[in-house]
Chains A and B, each alone.
Chain A
Amino acid sequence: MSSAMLELILEATLDTLYMVGVAGLIAAAAGIPLGVLLYVTRPGQILANPVTQKVLAIVTNVGRSIPFIILMVAIIPFTRLIAGSSIGTNAAIVPLTIAAIPFVARLVEGALNEVPPGLIEAAQSMGATPYQIITKVLLPEAKGGIINGMTITVVTLISYSAMAGAVGGGGLGDLGIRYGYNRFDPVVMLITVAILVVMVQGFQSIGDHLVRKADHK
């Protein structure tokens, strides 16, 4: 294999990590608060608010029901506004993030749902404010579940990022399709798939390790 090809593979790997990393971080920053909001505004919860909860739930569900490839194309004007261009790696990050935020939010909501309600009651009996209940009880107690959710998100983003080639996003999936599939080069195809497998395994192991560290159960 030529050194030019190796360079291409290396570049594609870094592109994938970059897209997944940035999209994952922004999705966590937006999705975790959204997940918390979805949870605390439920009926009977510490900040129960049926209207807010309903609106958030609908927005989240809509976000999650649009197929990624369609979302990517549909939000091109928005992507151009944010990234300054509708093609390239940076441009691919926008739809990846948009797709991941509601995904993270639902996983976080699910993780919070696992926190025993008695803990919230105990915190209330101590005179904790809703903000204190979120920061001192809900998030720490759900930490393992949230890390688990983020791991699932990152793995999903890796697979979504393969579609980013459609907007010239680069990355391993794009390389695999252009060189491996379109040019019938089974070696490149196999290498890109192998790298993706290793990447997913790696993130899953790191995630599992962090979950074990976070959980004292």
Chain B
Amino acid sequence: MIRLENVSKTYGSGAHAIQALKHVDLHVPKGSIHGVIGLSGAGKSTLIRCVNLLERPSTGSVQVDGEELTQLNGQSLNHARHQIGMIFQHFNLLASRSVYDNIALPLELVGMSKAAIQERVMPLLDLTGLADKADKYPAELSGGQKQRVAIARALASRPKVLLCDEATSALDPQTTGSILELLKDINQQLGLTILLITHEMEVVKTICHRVGLISDGELVEEADVGDFFTAPKTQLGREFLNNFLELEPPQALVERLEATPNEHSHPVVRLAFGGAAVATPLVSRLARECGVDVSILQAKVESIQGRTLGLMIAELIGDTNDTRKALEYLENHDLKVEVLGHVQRNA
């Protein structure tokens, strides 16, 4: 539904040129929710603005529903934009218009009659839970309600695609949850394709099917959300995940970690396990089969898109031979093992 090919965007020229996007390829299939996550300044905003040409890419191709947008200008571009809804971090509602009139705006733009507009707006007020707010003005609404109005407005022209630019970043966690639920419903009920950008893993975890990681203008990683949360391929991906899961070894331990093992040290590992491994009585098996003791420093279980993900930081205590056997055992059982370092055995 959305296809970006080799999209680059450069601001300025010569020595002052800043490359905001570098050769980005992105494909979002019809009906899916695709997230792009990245730090501030990574190029997320530029990327999503290239999809409806609020930013014109310097090079590359942008296709929405098979139509090449970079070839369009003026009227034909405006026409194409009616098929692409967009919501924003700061809602961007017109303060001078009531809720009803805000939602009606995109329909007024295409010259729809008052009666036809009403027929479109009323069900959207119901869908977004704003039926009793039609005559209120944005200043009278909470942040979550404003974003609901913005969603209703974006849906009014019955777009094929919805672009969400940090749509929940200005909202509190509870309101974020309810807006994400609404987006999920819309995706399922209307089969609407959604592309969203965010810096919040929570958003990706809650509603995305696939996720791309953007860094310094490049899409460095792309994966199904379940895979991304179990085994991110890049260092940045792991950082996002670890920050999100808050699974870092205790500071006191970090200070004692050494990069290289010796005969008096034992490894500290981070284990990630999904699927069948979750149900395995792992710790006791390691003790029995490899003869190592496992000291669990941190552990948690997350449920992501119906998949269960277990995470653990543990010390494997035993002699060098046994701990090596234990690591092999873990890797053979579909666990993602990351050796964080080695600590000296307590004398």
Docked pose: A50 CA to B79 CA in angstroms: 28
Do A126 and B95 touch (CB < 8 A)? no
Listed residue (B52, B77, B92) with the most chain A CB atoms within 10 angstroms of its CB = B92
Q: B327 within 8 Å of A by Cβ?
A: no
Give a binary string over A118-137; 1 marks a CB under 8 Å from any B CB, 0 the rest: 11011111111100100011
Q: How many A-B residue pairs have CB under 8 A?
A: 68
A122-B95 CB under 8 A given contacts A127-B78, A132-B109, A136-B109: no
A174 within 8 A of B: no
| Inter-chain contacts of B105 with A (CB < 8 A) | 123, 126, 136
User: How many A residues have CB within 8 A of the partner chain?
Assistant: 22
Q: Find out whether the CB atom of A216 lies under 8 angstroms from the CB atom of B95.
A: yes
Known interface pairs A121-B54, A132-B109. Does A127 touch B92 (Cβ–Cβ under 8 Å)? no
Contact between chains at A126 and B157 (CB < 8 Å): yes
Asked if A143 lies at the interface with its beta carbon under 8 angstroms from chain B, I say: yes
B110: chain A residues within 8 A (beta carbon):
127
| A128 engages B54 (CB within 8 Å) | no
Tally of chain B residues near chain A (CB < 8 A): 30
By a CB distance below 8 angstroms, the chain B residues around A109 are: none
Which residues of A have CB within 8 Å of B77? 127
B residues neighboring A (CB under 8 Å): 52, 54, 75, 77-82, 84-86, 88, 90, 92, 94-97, 105-106, 108-110, 137-139, 153, 157, 163
Known: A141-B95, A214-B96. A127 touches B139 (CB 8 A): no
Q: Is the CB of B109 within 8 A of A118?
A: no
Complex formed: what's the CA distance from A8 to B229 in Å? 87
- Report the Cα distance A157→B1, complex, angstroms: 59
Residues of B with C-beta under 8 A to A129: 75, 78
A216 to chain B, nearest CB (A): 4
A-B pairs with lowest CB-CB distance, top 8:
A127-B81, A127-B78, A122-B92, A216-B137, A125-B86, A118-B92, A126-B106, A140-B96
If A216-B138, A217-B139 touch, does A125 touch B52 (CB 8 Å cutoff)? yes
What is the minimal beta-carbon distance from A144 to any residue of chain B, in angstroms? 8
CB distance from A130 to the nearest CB of B (A): 10
B78 near A128: Cβ-Cβ < 8 Å: yes
Inter-chain CA distance A116–B90, complex, in Å, is: 10
Tell me, rounded to whole Å, the shortest Cβ–Cβ distance linking A113 to chain B. 15
Closest beta carbon of chain A to B51's beta carbon, Å: 10
B137 contact set on A, CB distance < 8 A: 216
Chain A residues within 8 Å of B52, by CB: 125
Q: How far is the CB of B146 from chain A (nearest CB, A)?
A: 12
- Residues of chain B within 8 A (CB-CB) of A215 are 95-96
Assuming A129-B78, A136-B105, what are 17 further A-B pairs, CB within 8 angstroms? A116-B90, A118-B92, A121-B54, A122-B88, A125-B54, A125-B86, A126-B81, A127-B77, A127-B81, A127-B109, A127-B157, A128-B78, A140-B97, A141-B96, A214-B96, A215-B95, A216-B95
* Residues from 84 to 131 in A contacting B, C-beta threshold 8 Å: 116, 118-119, 121-129
**Chain A residue at smallest Cβ distance from B86:** A125
Interface centre among A122, A128, A132 (most CB of B within 10 A): A122
Task: List, in ascending order, chain A residues with CB within 8 A of B94's CB.
Answer: 119, 137, 140-141
| 16 A-B interface contacts by CB (under 8 A) | A118-B88, A118-B92, A119-B94, A122-B86, A124-B54, A125-B52, A125-B54, A125-B81, A126-B81, A127-B80, A129-B78, A132-B109, A140-B96, A214-B96, A215-B95, A216-B139
Interface residues of A (CB under 8 A from B): 116, 118-119, 121-129, 132, 136-137, 140-141, 143, 214-217
Q: What is the CA–CA distance of A141 and B94 in the complex, to the nearest angstrom?
A: 7
Chain B hits for A121, CB < 8 A: 54, 88, 92
Closest chain B residue to A137 by CB distance?
A: B94
Given contacts A127-B79, A127-B81, A140-B97, contact A118 B90 (CB under 8 A): yes
CA separation between A215 and B85, bound complex, in Å? 27
Nearest-neighbour CB distance to chain A for B135, whole angstroms, equals: 11
Q: State how many angstroms separate the Cβ of A35 from the closest Cβ of chain B.
A: 18
Q: Which residues of A contact B95 (CB under 8 A)?
A: 141, 215-217
Partner of A125, one of B75, B84, B138, B139: B84
Bound: A127/B108 CA distance, A: 11
Assess A143 versus B109: contact at CB under 8 Å? Given A118-B88, A121-B88, A128-B78. no
Q: Find chain B residues with CB under 8 A from A119 CB.
A: 92, 94
Q: From A214, which residue of chain B is reached at the shortest CB distance?
A: B96
Residue of A nearest to B150 (CB): A122
| Whole-angstrom CA separation of A60 from B107 in the bound complex | 37
Q: Is the CB of A136 within 8 A of B54?
A: no
Contact A126 B109 (CB under 8 A): yes
Q: How far is the CB of B54 from chain A (nearest CB, A)?
A: 6
Q: Determine how close the nearest CB of chain A comes to the CB of B88; give it in whole angstroms.
A: 6
Among residues of B, the one whose C-beta sits closest to the C-beta of A120 is B92
Instruction: Please judge, given known A-B contacts A118-B92, A121-B88, A217-B139, whether A127 and B82 are in contact too, CB under 8 Å.
Output: yes
Residues from chain B with Cβ under 8 Å of A127 in the complex: 77-82, 106, 109-110, 157
Residues of B within 8 A of A124 (CB): 54, 81
Measured between beta carbons, the chain B residues less than 8 angstroms from A141 are 94-96
